[in-house]
């Protein structure tokens, strides 16, 4: 999660500098690293895509760790949207608006906060009986 937090700081700097495209790109990176960090914590193989939200949600459900359904739907849709926006924003093939960049940054911050809480839960929960063998 350390890398995700550092990139979130860069995302906020770029928002302040009105570098909308780069802020949106950094927001996507925060979401991706948050998802993959949690997958790694659970000992799961990494997905080879920039959008790891659905894999993460499935893994959390398998462990009985589910936030509310509305949050999950929002999480999956934001991750997909940011993954789609990622390359075109970075290469300036599109112009990301200030409001779209701020929405992306708010989503990334919310997902990073969720990931931090989930990481604490994972580290504080007892291992599965199958893991003890």
The residue assigned the tokens 């939200």 is: 53
- Given a contact cutoff of 8 angstroms between Cβ atoms, the answer to whether 59 and 37 are in contact is no
What residue ranges do the domains of the chain occupy?
2-120
Cα distance between residue 80 and residue 109, in whole Å: 16
Statement: residue 1 has pLDDT above 90: no
Fold of the 2-120 domain: 1.20.120
pLDDT in tens, 74-129: 999 999 999 999 999 999 999 999 999 999 999 999 999 999 999 999 999 765 54
Cα distance between residue 43 and residue 85, in whole Å: 29
pLDDT in tens, 72-82: 999 999 999 99
């Amino acid at each position: 999660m350390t890398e995700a937090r550092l990139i979130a700081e860069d995302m906020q700097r770029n928002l302040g500098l009105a570098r909308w495209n780069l802020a949106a790109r950094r927001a996507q990176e925060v979401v991706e690293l948050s998802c993959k960090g949690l997958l790694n914590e659970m000992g799961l193989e990494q997905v080879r895509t920039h959008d790891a939200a659905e894999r993460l949600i499935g893994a959390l459900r398998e462990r009985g760790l589910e936030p509310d359904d509305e949050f999950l739907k929002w999480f999956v849709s934001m991750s997909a949207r940011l993954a789609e926006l990622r390359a075109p924003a970075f290469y300036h093939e599109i112009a990301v608006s200030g409001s779209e960049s701020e929405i992306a940054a708010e989503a990334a911050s919310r997902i990073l906060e969720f990931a931090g809480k989930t990481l604490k839960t994972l580290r504080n929960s007892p291992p599965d009986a199958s893991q003890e063998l």
